[in-house]
Structure 1
Amino acid sequence: MQPPVIDVIIPAFNEENAVGNVVKDLPQHLVREILVVDNNSRDDTRQAAEAAGATVLDEPRQGYGYACLKGIAHLKSKAIPPDVVVFIDADYSDYPEELPLLVSHLTENNLDLVIGSRALGKREPGSMTPQQVFGNWLATTLIEKLYGSRYTDLGPFRAVRFNKLLEMDMQDTTYGWTVEMQLKAAKLGFRTGEVPVTYRRRIGHSKISGTVKGTLLAGYKILSWIFKYR
């Protein structure tokens, strides 16, 4: 069998000190293109990503989902679309070299979506705030109760078949992106799975969990998706 065509999307906002590490540590011999979507950064995120070898797209509209949608639009324009898209954050908290774990689990088990689970894997102390741990537990518990799909995490490191990603018709432009994908996978009857991933303290300061405002907005958006989509 031919190996799958894999492209990577990395949303990035003010990650000049981290994004180059993410790009360099990805197994580039397995990946066709690494897209860094510069989400209106005010630092040298673009320069750092380009120096590491990534293709950089600009998305001036602030929002994690906007950045992801920009990357998807770019992949849709390709003459040969990818078979698999991997999403990973630009803060170097996930281990990019673990990409083959997600992709092999996806392809060998004929799955449509694989989440890199921090809950199942090894977390460095302090890498997730107490509110992140609780929020993930609450969200995944509600998803299982309301949708019948079991997840342990809403982790940003994930692999998805591109045709299934397009079928999901993703809409969220900010904090609800990850939970929207998992809810739609459940509603559409997609085959999903998880693999344990390693997680460390991010480089720099989190724009979401690192602030009270970001934490509250993310929590509200995640819960609203869970109940609204139900």
Structure 2
Amino acid sequence: MVRPKISVIIPAFNEENAVGLVVKAIPKEWVDTIIVVNNASTDETRYAAEKEGALVIDQPIKGYGNACLKGIGYLKKMEVTPDIVVFLDADFSDYPEELPLLVKPIIEDNVDMVIGSRALGNRDSGSMTFPQVFGNWLATRLLKLFYNYRFTDLGPFRAIKYSALLDLQMADKTYGWTVEMQVKAAKQKLKCTEVPVNYKNRIGTSKVSGTVKGAVSAGYKILYTIFKYL
């Protein structure tokens, strides 16, 4: 069986101390392209990623969704586009070596999208703040209530068929990116599943959960997105 082509997109904003570790830990035998989207960083994020062999592209406009959309735009221009796209954060809170766990259901069971669930895996103490845990709990229950799709997490570590990703016509430019993907997947009746992933304390301070403003803004955007597509 020929392994499908897999690309990894890593949005990165000022992650010079972590992004290189993320790239280094990705099992290279499983992937064809590692794209780090340098999202208006003012530190050495680009250098740290390139040092470990990643392809780095720039997105000068801040926003998690903006960075992901930039990565997708690059994939569209590739001579040979991937079969599967994996999204992974640059803060080294996930375990990149668990990537095969996320892509195997797509390869073996023809699943369209796989969410790496921190709720089902093991989390280090303090790796997720209370607002994060509660926000995930609330959001996934609203997804079940309004869209009849069961998720346990909005985890950023996820894999999706490239064709399905394009069909979703992703648009969110900031904090609503992950939940938008899950809402649209539910509306389009994609075949989705979750796999347990482990989670550790990130390197550095989160730009979202690490501040009150960031946590509130992210929570509002997540709820707004869930109701927007009803």
1:48 counterpart residue number: 48
Please identify, of 174-183 and 100-109, the stretch whose mean Cα deviation from structure 2 is larger: 100-109
Aligned pairs (5 A) from 1:167-178: 167-178=167-178
- Which AA in structure 2 matches 1:20? G
1:183 counterpart residue number: 183
Note the residue ranges of structure 1 that are not aligned, 5 or more in a row.
none
- Please tell me whether residue 200 in structure 1 is matched to residue 196 in structure 2: no
Aligned pairs (5 A) from 1:41-190: 41-190=41-190
Give the alignment's Cα RMSD to 1 decimal: 0.5
- Which AA in structure 1 matches 2:120? L
Task: State percent identity of aligned pairs.
Answer: 63
Cα separation, 1, equivalents of 2:6 and 2:212: 36
TM-score by length of 2: 0.99
Cα separation, 2, equivalents of 1:107 and 1:176: 27
- Which AA in structure 2 matches 1:117? S
Cα separation, 1, equivalents of 2:229 and 2:167: 16
User: Over residues 36-61 of structure 1, what are the superposed CA-to-partner deviations in whole Å (9 max), with x where a residue is unaligned?
Assistant: 00000010000000001100000000
SS at match of 1:46: helix
Cα separation, 1, equivalents of 2:15 and 2:190: 33
TM-score by length of 1: 0.99
1:211 counterpart residue number: 211
Shift of 1:106: 2.0
Note the residue ranges of structure 2 that are not aligned, 5 or more in a row.
none
Cα separation, 2, equivalents of 1:79 and 1:39: 24
Cα separation, 2, equivalents of 1:141 and 1:109: 26
Q: How many pairs are equivalent? A: 230
